[in-house]
Amino acid sequence: MFAIPKGLPQNSLVTENVINVELNEIDIDRMVTKILERAVKRGRVSGSKVDTKDYDGYLSKLQNSPHVKGADGERGLEILDGWVRSSVLVQETAGRRRDTVQMGYLRPLTIAAYRSGLPKSTSRNRRADSLVFKAMARMLSARGDENESAVIQHLFLETFGRGVELGPFPSTNPSYDGESDVDIDTLLALRFIEQFTGNEAHNRDLGRLDPPVPMAVDPLGQNLIDFLTFYGPQLPVGEAYTHLSALLSLRLFQLPLVTAHAVRSLLSGGDELPVDINPCGQYFDFVRVRGHASDELSRMSVQRDLEVMRTFFGDRLLLRSLNDAVAVLPNQPALGSSAESRLRVLAGMKDDPMMQMALQMQINAIEAGLHDGDEGRAFISDVRSSGGLTAADQLTAILVEGLRKRGLEGQVKWFHSSGGIKKAYGVLHGDLRSRASWRYAMSDEALVSLLCMVFVDDNGIRTTSKLPIRDVLARLEARFGILIANPPADLDSADARAGAAANLAAFTRRMKLLGCFEGLSDDFSAQFVTRPREVSK
């Protein structure tokens, strides 16, 4: 194994012309606060000045607040400390030996959480918080809204802004309004947040989103708009946060997978990107019996998607290289006005003779950057001497090998963290340390979140209260790429179909327990699913 020399553009793992996020470990719960801040401040965010190690100082301020009664003395401070740690604040470890405890982020109890400046570092958001806001704005613009940021602010405030006085725009120091009925944990959170002073400086990040693969991004924005429009205002804030997190988790988890399917199609000779059918085909197990045919389908579905991600690593590096190579071509191609058209044209140029020469120049630059005797030189020589490989094939092999450790490891971290393997609302279950144990499965929270979206019509204008189970399954597959009653086409067999039949029965039992299934008879056409939550309009 060798490493691409530092200082070369090929050493980077960022592939902005293919996907709008950085593929590495992400924490949805940690990121939600920044999404709320962007919503309130209409796309703007502030840097943080909070001292994450001064928890005791902020706790002391809370104890001395005129709004806190009966918490005097050491015993009162102990009670407040235990309450804040268990209900409001998530602490994290820092330092080389991870032996320093500091304030991490606030639990999602109120939209005012951003005033705290926590989390202080946003690098682990991988730019997904910006993507979420811009994806929502993109979908609102597509339906004709002229002031998208104001609409987004209103949607979030209707659900998560209860009991909060924002103050003058840009609402740096939101506080409790002193009147609204909120639960006791939320009230504690608001009083704790009031001990912080927000940062007045704001960074503008208001450019419009131009996604290379719209099908990978647009459903994220549309789902959040639909949820906040129809369901959010009717739900307790805690439940609304859970459903929001579940939708974020699934859509961000599928973002690179949908993109991977699209770019593989383009690089294989396809002319157009998919538009409205989710290509993931992920089989979710509801039987939950280890070794059952349904369990095996779920396991194999995960392993297949991990392989899709491995292939995607090389594909996105190649597409970045094609994009970089355009600058040295003697005749500049017409790439179009959008990231989508640019991606399509670049994929179609990979076998162009002039492009092959430009890619060979990149190989030469990598080789020249390696010291004599570096094993990378031997690897490049072996690749060049391999028969039947174009310059695009050679460069892809070299980049994958030279960036393998950082790149593939980062992609797997995105896979398990965005999939929520440690979260109740996640769609990926198993032991983090054993990929062989990973399965696609849904908690009740995740299932209810998706069912809520299924009952929103395709146009996003209205919901329906009851659907035949056949329609529910069809919408789960088309919109979310989720299979329940049928095995994935590439995993089909007699045993797989038997496992899927048992899975459908387990799925209907789960919906009965959730109170949203009506089976008038054993006839499939007489079985209905009812909307799991009330809507606001």
Give the pLDDT confidence of 114-130 residue by residue, as tens digits.
999 999 999 999 999 99
Is 95 a residue whose pLDDT tops 80? no
Q: How confident is the model at residue 459, as a pLDDT?
A: 83
Residue written as token pair 């991990």 = 306
Count other C-beta atoms under 10 Å from residue 381's C-beta. Answer: 11
Task: Give 455-509 pLDDT, tens digit per residue.
Answer: 999 888 899 999 999 999 999 999 999 999 999 999 999 999 999 999 999 999 9
Could you tell me where the DSSP H helices lie in 227-272? 237-267
Q: Contact, 173 vs 78, CB < 8 A?
A: no
* Residue 87, Cβ density class (10 Å: 0-12 exposed, 13-18 middle, ≥19 buried): middle
Integer angstrom CA distances of residue 493 from 293, 345, 367, 481: 10, 38, 48, 20
Phi, psi at 143, each rounded to 5° = -90, 0
Distance CA 124, CA 26 (A): 5
Listed in sequence order, the residues at least 6 apart from 115 whose beta carbon sits closer than 8 Å to its beta carbon are 172, 173, 174, 175, 193, 194, 196, 197, 198
Is 271 a residue whose pLDDT tops 80? no
Q: To the nearest whole percent, how much of the chain has pLDDT over 70? A: 98
Residue written as token pair 């209260």 = 465
The pTM assigned to this predicted structure is: 0.96
Per-chain mean pLDDT for the chain? 95
In terms of Cα–Cα distance, which of 255, 247, 250 is closest to 211? 255
Count other C-beta atoms under 10 Å from residue 366's C-beta. Answer: 21
Distance CA 201, CA 91 (A): 26
Q: To the nearest whole percent, how much of the chain has pLDDT over 90? A: 89
Q: How confident is the model at residue 275, as a pLDDT?
A: 72
Q: How confident is the model at residue 519, as a pLDDT?
A: 83
The rounded radius of gyration (Å) of the Cα atoms in the chain is 25
Which whole number is the average pLDDT over 64-93?
A: 96
Count other C-beta atoms under 10 Å from residue 420's C-beta. Answer: 25
Is 224 a residue whose pLDDT tops 80? yes
274: pLDDT confidence band, cut at 50, 70 and 90?
A: low
Q: How confident is the model at residue 205, as a pLDDT?
A: 67
DSSP 8-state class, residue 233: G
Q: Contact, 361 vs 9, CB < 8 A?
A: no
Phi, psi at 366, each rounded to 5° = -65, -45
Distance CA 441, CA 286 (A): 7
Which whole number is the average pLDDT over 335-352?
A: 96
Task: Give 499-524 pLDDT, tens digit per residue.
Answer: 999 999 999 999 999 999 998 777 77
537: pLDDT confidence band, cut at 50, 70 and 90?
A: low
Count other C-beta atoms under 10 Å from residue 12's C-beta. Answer: 12
Q: How confident is the model at residue 405, as a pLDDT?
A: 93
Q: How confident is the model at residue 185, as a pLDDT?
A: 96
Distance CA 304, CA 312 (A): 12
**Count of CA atoms in the C-beta half-sphere (13 A) of 432:** 12
Q: How confident is the model at residue 524, as a pLDDT?
A: 73
